[in-house]
Structure 1
Amino acid sequence: MEKGWKPIIEQADLSALDQRWNELKGLYAPFMPSKMNLDVTQFDLSSFFSIDHWLSMIKSYFFFEVKESAESLALIFLLAIIASVLKTVGQALETQTVTRTAEAAVLIPIFILTMSTFRMAVESVSAAVEQMTVFMMAFMPILIALLTISGAVASAALFPPLLLFMMNASGLLIDQIILPCLIFSVVFSLVGLLSDHYKADRLASLLRTISVSLLSAFMAVFLAVLTMRGMTAAAADGLTVKTAKFITGTFVPVVGRMMADAADTASGAALLIHNTAGAAGIGLLLLTALFPVLKLMVLVLLYKAAAAALQPLGDSAAASLLDVIGKTLSFMLASLALVSFMYFLFMAAVVSAGNAAYMMR
């Protein structure tokens, strides 16, 4: 088998894997264990997929994000307490105009601080989706080429048009529709908090619902198309290869059976390389999504906790603002998780397509 896979892996361009791995190490090296490594050419993925390494990485980055966000959130919490106290004092003294002005003056710096965090979260989601899309576009051609060599020709023919449409559509959906809807939902919620006359809470809720509903519908269509067409292609691949082997072994004199066995060995070697490269690609895809997801999880937990802690102080606009930001961040987290899961399923489908065709023979 080694003689079969060595020429294939020497000519296979796996630079997309190395490039993405080096980019991730450049961004998150302080949180990665020193022994964590990725070596596809030697079929050594044990260090990369070590559970201990991943748990250590998750723990390090999680507490780093907590520490990074705690300072700004503590300042926001202090300002929110001041705003709540001012409102309580104003209600006791029955000076509504002065109280409203003082509360608005405190809410403005709170809004600036929360918007800074919100902007970083939006940029993190947008960058993560872009990085995953670029990686998929760079890595999929070689993975599909290995799929073709392994004998899954029909499956390989299925994926390129589906890939181009789904990858570009998902990126555009996030950047052009989902994130703008969530941003405007925060703006409309803020208008309702700062003004007693103009309320747009329901419009903000509608925008959040639309964003997640669109993404969920897109994912449902994607799963339906991928499942139905993938099953058909696998059956066609298995039948085609089995027929070709039978014709070669039966009608080609003397060397027919030998040629069929050699072709079968080469396709098996290509499938081995395809599976190894695919597993590495899935791991890098998960690693790309992991850090932004952890960042959003920390922000959601902190903002929700701050809003809950402020609730006993009374009905304040600051607590409502923190709750709105936490709710919107949770929608962003769900959107990023759905897109990451869709990309993961797509790459897993490409990897499993070769195995399905091989089992059909």
Structure 2
Amino acid sequence: MKKIFILLILVLLIPAPWVLADEIEEQIKNLDLKEIDDFIREFNREYGNFFPLSDFEDMVRSLRENRNIDFKSLFGGILRYVFREISANYKLLVKLITLSLICAVLKNLHHGFEKDNIGRMAHSVVLFVLIIIALQSFTIALETGKGAINRMVSFVQALMPTVFTLLAAVGGVASVRVFSPLIFIGITAASTWIKDIILPVIFFISVLSLVNNITDSFHVSQLTHLLRQLCVFLMGLFLSVFLGVMVIQGATAATVDGITIRTAKFASKNFVPIVGGIFSDALDAVVGYSLILKNAVGLIGLLILFLITLFPVVKILSIIFIYRLSAAIIQPVGENTIVKCLNDIGNSLTLIFISVASVAMMFFIAIAIVLVSGNLSMVLR
């Protein structure tokens, strides 16, 4: 009788892998991925010519089936986008160099005559036109940075409910309670802090830098230097505090989850003989599959977040390159005022790049901490 009972249990357990595999497929289909897929379609409309993405469910399934990401196509798309942006900004380079040469000629003309008011006025007009063009391109970079931050925030808000659902499915209830408010408070704070405070301050810095360079009576170079340092310090402080709280709270929550599940497994095995052990082992298998799915969803989410950040950052870097190249070409002509203006604009654009990269890094590390927390609770159990 005992042998028959053991044989019956073995027969019941044999189809378990297929049942669990079907269960995980069903779990994928039951996930609410509409917002994420809408986001992917929007990404494909803008950047699909360079690196198109399939829908989220297909990407998760590809990762589970160990199908490799086409990195060759990814790098090729990035290079094509870089060349497109540099080509698009070629006209800006020509305008900056042409106006700088005109400024240099006019400056030499009115220096050659003591009372050449017309030459001095023409030089000032051309200089102001050049500054307006510089501010227009700077505004484009600023709007690109704001748009990138908005897209990152929208994507993380769409992704995290799915990740939290799967984290709870693997027993990370305490982790969900800790991370859910932290992530969404951090998202709101980061978007408000960077978009509404840091980026306007950067624009103000660029205007002050231009005014400082074109006038002899109004000097604010130390103020602009102080504001630049303050922006970098505040971004670093916000990033450090947020991620520090995430790490400490996440480690604590993962420990609580691990101990809780371990206690429940011990109780079921010892207080419910035979059936409790079978139930505990089956639960481990289901949780293991859910953990794989959670990690797959998280990794695909990190890849999409990387691509969301990459293309706007490349656009900003291409504009920075144009300004640096213009300053290098113009410097031999001897128009130091314009060279300083272009360098200061390049420095302000670099601050925009740092701002966008900081937000991306914060979200990237935060998602990674959530994923690691779920894995840590599994280890501790």
State the TM bucket, normalised to the shorter chain.
over 0.9
Per the alignment, residue 34 of structure 2 pairs with: 15
C-alpha deviations, 1:164-215, integer Å up to 9, x for none?
2211110011112111111111111222233221122222222222212111
Is 1:56 the counterpart of 2:76 in the alignment? yes
Is 1:213 the counterpart of 2:230 in the alignment? no
Per the alignment, residue 84 of structure 1 pairs with: 104
Contact 2:97 2:329 in 1 (8 A): no
Distance (Å, rounded) in 1 between the aligned partners of 2:209 and 2:363 = 32
Indicate the larger mover: 306-315 or 2-11: 2-11
Distance (Å, rounded) in 1 between the aligned partners of 2:132 and 2:120 = 18
Is 1:172 the counterpart of 2:186 in the alignment? no
Structure 1, unmatched stretches of 5+, are none
The TM-score, its normalising length taken from structure 1, stands at: 0.94
5 Å-filtered alignment, 1:172-191, equals 172-191=192-211
Per the alignment, residue 353 of structure 2 pairs with: 333
Distance (Å, rounded) in 2 between the aligned partners of 1:240 and 1:172 = 37
Q: 1:3 aligns with which of 22, 27, 32?
A: 22
Per the alignment, residue 75 of structure 1 pairs with: 95
C-alpha change, 1:5 and 1:23, in structure 2 (3 Å) is same
C-alpha deviations, 1:73-103, integer Å up to 9, x for none?
2112100111012112322334475444222
Is 1:28 the counterpart of 2:42 in the alignment? no
C-alpha change, 1:205 and 1:48, in structure 2 (3 Å) is farther
Contact 1:49 1:283 in 2 (8 A): no
| One-letter code aligned to 1:24 | F
Contact 2:100 2:335 in 1 (8 A): no
| One-letter code aligned to 1:216 | G
Indicate the larger mover: 164-173 or 96-105: 96-105
Deviation at 1:39, TM superposition (A): 4.8
Distance (Å, rounded) in 2 between the aligned partners of 1:242 and 1:113 = 65
Contact 1:17 1:280 in 2 (8 A): no
5 Å-filtered alignment, 1:86-235, equals 86-95=106-115, 97-235=117-255
| One-letter code aligned to 1:76 | L
| One-letter code aligned to 2:24 | W
Per the alignment, residue 287 of structure 1 pairs with: 307
C-alpha deviations, 1:18-37, integer Å up to 9, x for none?
2221111011122226xx53
Structure 2, unmatched stretches of 5+, are 1-19
Contact 2:33 2:56 in 1 (8 A): no
Indicate the larger mover: 96-105 or 316-325: 96-105
Distance (Å, rounded) in 2 between the aligned partners of 1:21 and 1:271 = 24
Q: 1:40 aligns with which of 52, 57, 61?
A: 57
Q: Secondary structure at the residue paired with 1:244?
A: helix
Deviation at 1:38, TM superposition (A): 4.8
Aligned-residue Cα RMSD (Å) equals 1.8
Indicate the larger mover: 340-349 or 259-268: 259-268
Contact 1:132 1:288 in 2 (8 A): yes
Distance (Å, rounded) in 1 between the aligned partners of 2:118 and 2:306 = 52
C-alpha change, 1:56 and 1:234, in structure 2 (3 Å) is same
Contact 1:131 1:288 in 2 (8 A): yes
Per the alignment, residue 278 of structure 2 pairs with: 258
C-alpha deviations, 1:271-300, integer Å up to 9, x for none?
111111111111111111011110111111
Distance (Å, rounded) in 2 between the aligned partners of 1:31 and 1:110 = 33
C-alpha deviations, 1:121-142, integer Å up to 9, x for none?
1111001101111111121111
C-alpha change, 1:325 and 1:47, in structure 2 (3 Å) is farther
Per the alignment, residue 276 of structure 1 pairs with: 296
Q: Which has the larger radius of gyration?
A: 2
The TM-score, its normalising length taken from structure 2, stands at: 0.89
Contact 1:303 1:322 in 2 (8 A): yes
Contact 1:189 1:204 in 2 (8 A): yes
Is 1:344 the counterpart of 2:368 in the alignment? no
| One-letter code aligned to 2:360 | S
Indicate the larger mover: 14-23 or 87-96: 87-96
C-alpha change, 1:138 and 1:294, in structure 2 (3 Å) is same
Distance (Å, rounded) in 1 between the aligned partners of 2:68 and 2:358 = 24
Contact 1:146 1:273 in 2 (8 A): yes
Is 1:238 the counterpart of 2:255 in the alignment? no
C-alpha change, 1:47 and 1:335, in structure 2 (3 Å) is farther
Indicate the larger mover: 92-101 or 152-161: 92-101
In the alignment of these two chains, the number of paired residues is 359
Contact 2:324 2:346 in 1 (8 A): yes
